[in-house]
Structure 1
Amino acid sequence: MTEARALDLLEVRFDAGDDTGLIEGFAARFDEADSYGDVIERGAFAASLAEHRAAETMPVMLWSHDPADAIGRWDAIEETGEGLKVRGRLNLDVQRAREARSLIQSGAVSGLSIGFRVRKALAGAGGARTVREIELHEISIVSLPAAKRARVTSIRSADVSAEQEASMAEVQTGAAPDKGGNEEITLQAVAERVDKIEEILTRNEIRSQRPGAQTKAEEGIEARAFTGFVRRGREALAVDEVRALVVADDTAGGYLAPAEFQKELLRNLVEVSPVRQAARVSSTAAGSVILPKRSAAPTASWVGETEDRPETAPAYGQVEIFVHEAAAYIDVSTKLLEDSALNVTNELAFDFAEEFGRIEGLAFLKGDGVKKPRGLMAHGDVASVPNGHATNLASDALINLMHALPAFYRNRGAWLMNAGTIGTVRKLKTGGGDYIWRDGLADGNPPTILGRPVIEAPDMDAVADGTYPILFGDIQSAYRIVDKVAVSILRDPYSQATKGLVRFHARRRTGGDVVKAEAIRKLKMAVS
């Protein structure tokens, strides 16, 4: 069960004159009960923070728990005597981050909320818990009203609608105190009913903060201007709409897509691009990203009481991920653009995501790093495990592949293979006659092989002599995708005008590379 919780008595420090986007505050307080009576103990985050350090990861910085709305990064997270202290930096190249910065400066937003899963807790009276260990996923900046009842937000996956309806019924039908036939409602009775109504309203507002919850916001001037540009062109826009368009910084011209379009594009990309589903994705405004890489582990040794201690320091290097440009164009009929019933921007976002997803899906797997990302299967440091036979896939080979990884990566691993290989694996059985494939038991749950999820990647090799049809491992730790956030759109109404079409050119920049080859293994179809 994943929860999100906004801190009461929040303290956020933000320098209004600082253009670097630095932010600091407490994301959780220890030994303080929230509105549900839950208390987080000191040290509850220690294990999760240690795991993040070992994997060289950090919880992501989101806006209101929306996984498609990354607005920066957390640079430092530590437990203090008071609580979980965080320090990070907003990515001011992202429109949502600039909006968040402005809201924080004005005092309209003052909330930090953690997305987490409870690992260990002691149950108390009335459903309250003493939380002893937490798996920290993300820390969001959230909008909290000044009202006290909305200060603490604890979002639970359990359905509380029945409880809410019962509470509402109790409020609506509760009888006044019996005073010998006098039906006068006392001030105390009114206060009790108001408290119950406030509790119901609080739970409704808590639901609105749940990760994934969506509310339909009024379309901003930037979105309206971009939609008008797509349908009719720049010449037909009003003066204020032309001013709202942001000119792209590329020499080919065009305009930057608004945040709503970019969010829809990225959401669709995740559905189309298989590696993007599993890898760690971040954004940058630069042409490349340099990440630290540990090239040698520390070595410990036994020594005597007065003997010299040998050097045990690990060796560190760097991995530089370059951002490459991808371009695509789509032809749309003039009649469709004139049809007001068509949400043309959503259609463009889906079509471009489908095309970008196709080319980046191949590059993230087999790209050679020349004008494109370097892929998982193309990196020379990724080790392989032999199948034991050149053409016949065996269940024992999958077991060997899985257990070739350390437990930390194995327990977080996923399988990558194409549809043909999936069809072969579904027929494999263990020595006891059980199929190693298991379909998901609930909607949204992926199928599993040996207990780990399967991701279908159409660009993986087929089962044949000398190929690598299967990859297994902790892809999130092993592979990093870096997106240049801006997407520019160029409207060309001339080149296809004789066919009644308008051509839209789009360009975006993305990069990817293996940062931890030891976290994954690939299966080679060979005897040894």
Structure 2
Amino acid sequence: MTKSLKLALAASALSCVAANANVRPAAVLQPSTRGLPRAIVGQGVRADVSDPKAMFASLQTAFEEFKAANEQKLSGKADVLVDQKVEKINEAVGAFQGALDEINTRMAALQLSGGGAPGQTREQRTYSETFAKFFRRGDEGATSALHDLAVKAAMTSQSDPDGGFLVPTEMEQAIDRVLGTTSIMRTLAQIQPIGSSEYKKQVSLGGAGSGWVGETDARPETGTPVLGELTFTPGEIYAKPKASQTLLDDSRVDLAAWLAGEVDIEFSEKEGAAFITGNGIKKPRGILDYDKVADAAYEWGKLGYVKSGHATLLTGDALINLVYAPKTGYRPNARFLMNRKTVGAARLLKDGQGNYLWQPSAQAGQPATLSGYTVAEDDNMPDVGAGAYPVAFGDFRRGYLIVDRMGIRVLRDPYSSKPFVEFYTTKRVGGGVQDFAAIKLMQIAA
């Protein structure tokens, strides 16, 4: 979903609250020329991005309205209109929180983006300049020189039977930065760049013996640790953006930004789905593709799960149980992973003292929390339903590994889609669980 669509949904949902639920909108988002919320109007308070206190006060007000409407619904005095009111305010709070989360993500990305590709060698600069000629005009001289220049720039020492050339470092970094803000799992998992066809990692499965002894006691031989090996093999993901020659001839067009903007949706959607449900064949293996076992019978190589306690619904007790399923060492950096519909369902849940488990952002730069932990939304996670696994919780940086084969390759094709020029762009990505104890799932089951 694009940022403009998210903002539009937020504004639309909040307007519906006022129109159909007989409550005043706690917040109205209006996209500015930069695509950021320009103003938030609620209860007579106007809060721009320069006034974060008023902005988050408006969100808190909207959440209070939601709780009041939901309490009316739970009291047994509700009717269809009240049900609709709760649903619409819930959607409004979710859309508004989503827009604020996106602002936080974009701000973090700007802080991490740096200033292009500093420290380039003379050979790398020459390669970048020659690549630009190839990219814009298909210059024959540039085409014949690029492979030799790539070797001199230490970008590659191998040929590619499918043709095409590696994009310059600054262009690859631009694409990676965009993917880092649009692919949810990339913000959560550990990312390992590799230069070979696969990545192997040794993991300890325990088994090392130990014991207590006195100062002069004999030290008997202990057991040796058991080691396992995990292999991550990248698959190839591709996109075919196209541009007119007029656009390419415009020297003001930033080629790196253009290509990153064109491929980010294709790349992020394809790899995002694979990180959750991929089968590991010519693509990453997703967290839901692994064998699952009740957490009480957990074993290495499988993901443990806890049951929701209801055949078809999410429950507050199960969410709390899920938080305590991973070992203590995994919880400090843990978070929830679920889709937006499941977040909406979780927003209705309470603990044993009647407190809502979901809480909105309390201040700028902080996301919403569920039972005290950050919630990451990924629409590749399944909906709540009998037998489904709609919620994951844990330390995903320790639990899931993404391997990026270094180098994004582009093949220029001016013939297949005249008068446009197509750019067959490929990237090799792999992924899989690297620590099965770090991630736990919830199964919807009694």
Assess same fold via TM > 0.5. yes
CA contact (8 A) 2:204 2:228 kept: yes
Q: CA RMSD in A?
A: 2.8
Within a 5 Å distance, the mapping from 1:132-211 to structure 2 comes to none
TM-score w.r.t. length of structure 2: 0.65
1:87-146 deviation per Cα after TM superposition (whole angstroms, max 9, x unaligned): xxxxxxxxxxxxxxxxxxxxxxxxxxxxxxxxxxxxxxxxxxxxxxxxxxxxxxxxxxxx
Distance 1:456 1:250 in 2: 37
Shift of 1:508: 1.4
Distance 2:412 2:143 in 1: 17
Counterpart in the other structure of 2:173: 263
CA contact (8 A) 1:221 1:241 kept: no
Counterpart in the other structure of 1:404: 325
CA contact (8 A) 2:184 2:272 kept: yes
1:339-387 deviation per Cα after TM superposition (whole angstroms, max 9, x unaligned): 3333233111122232111111111111111111111111221111100
Q: Which of 432, 439, 443 is equivalent to 1:513?
A: 432
Q: Which of 284, 289, 292 is equivalent to 2:202?
A: 292
Q: Which of 106, 123, 130 is equivalent to 1:225?
A: 130
Shift of 1:506: 0.9
SS of aligned partner of 1:317: strand
TM-score w.r.t. length of structure 1: 0.55
Distance 2:200 2:267 in 1: 24
Shift of the 362–496 alpha-carbon distance from structure 1 to 2, 3 Å rule, reads: same
Within a 5 Å distance, the mapping from 1:275-314 to structure 2 comes to 275-298=185-208, 300=210, 309=220, 311-314=222-225
Shift of 1:211: 7.4
Identity %: 34
Shift of 1:303: 7.7
Within a 5 Å distance, the mapping from 1:446-461 to structure 2 comes to 446-461=367-382
Q: Which of 280, 283, 307 is equivalent to 1:386?
A: 307
1:421-443 deviation per Cα after TM superposition (whole angstroms, max 9, x unaligned): 11111222222222211223333
1:26-51 deviation per Cα after TM superposition (whole angstroms, max 9, x unaligned): xxxxxxxxxxxxxxxxxxxxxxxxxx
Distance 1:300 1:240 in 2: 61
CA contact (8 A) 1:226 1:245 kept: no
CA contact (8 A) 1:254 1:490 kept: yes
Distance 2:393 2:384 in 1: 15
Within a 5 Å distance, the mapping from 1:45-444 to structure 2 comes to 212=112, 214-215=114-115, 220-235=125-140, 244=149, 249-298=159-208, 300=210, 309=220, 311-380=222-291, 381-444=302-365
Shift of 1:468: 0.4
Counterpart in the other structure of 2:13: none
Distance 1:520 1:472 in 2: 6
Within a 5 Å distance, the mapping from 1:445-524 to structure 2 comes to 445-497=366-418, 500-524=419-443
Distance 2:360 2:196 in 1: 42
1:491-515 deviation per Cα after TM superposition (whole angstroms, max 9, x unaligned): 1000101xx2111101111111111
Shift of the 291–238 alpha-carbon distance from structure 1 to 2, 3 Å rule, reads: closer
Structure 2 alignment gaps of length 5 or more: 1-109, 292-301
SS of aligned partner of 1:504: strand
Counterpart AA for 1:225: T
Structure 1 alignment gaps of length 5 or more: 1-209
Distance 2:334 2:417 in 1: 47
Shift of 1:225: 2.5
Counterpart AA for 1:353: D
1:472-501 deviation per Cα after TM superposition (whole angstroms, max 9, x unaligned): 00111111111111111001000101xx21
1:396-424 deviation per Cα after TM superposition (whole angstroms, max 9, x unaligned): 11100110111100122111111111111
CA contact (8 A) 2:198 2:233 kept: yes
Counterpart AA for 2:200: I
Shift of the 477–242 alpha-carbon distance from structure 1 to 2, 3 Å rule, reads: closer
SS of aligned partner of 1:408: helix
Distance 2:143 2:411 in 1: 19
> Aligned pair count?
316
SS of aligned partner of 1:481: strand
Shift of 1:226: 2.3
1:310-341 deviation per Cα after TM superposition (whole angstroms, max 9, x unaligned): 73433112111112222221122333223333
1:229-256 deviation per Cα after TM superposition (whole angstroms, max 9, x unaligned): 2221123759988965668722111111
Shift of the 324–421 alpha-carbon distance from structure 1 to 2, 3 Å rule, reads: same
Shift of the 240–465 alpha-carbon distance from structure 1 to 2, 3 Å rule, reads: closer
SS of aligned partner of 1:518: coil
Distance 1:213 1:516 in 2: 29
Shift of the 453–484 alpha-carbon distance from structure 1 to 2, 3 Å rule, reads: same
1:62-84 deviation per Cα after TM superposition (whole angstroms, max 9, x unaligned): xxxxxxxxxxxxxxxxxxxxxxx
CA contact (8 A) 2:146 2:165 kept: no
SS of aligned partner of 1:503: strand
Counterpart in the other structure of 1:30: none
Shift of the 224–303 alpha-carbon distance from structure 1 to 2, 3 Å rule, reads: closer
Distance 1:515 1:242 in 2: 36
SS of aligned partner of 2:287: coil
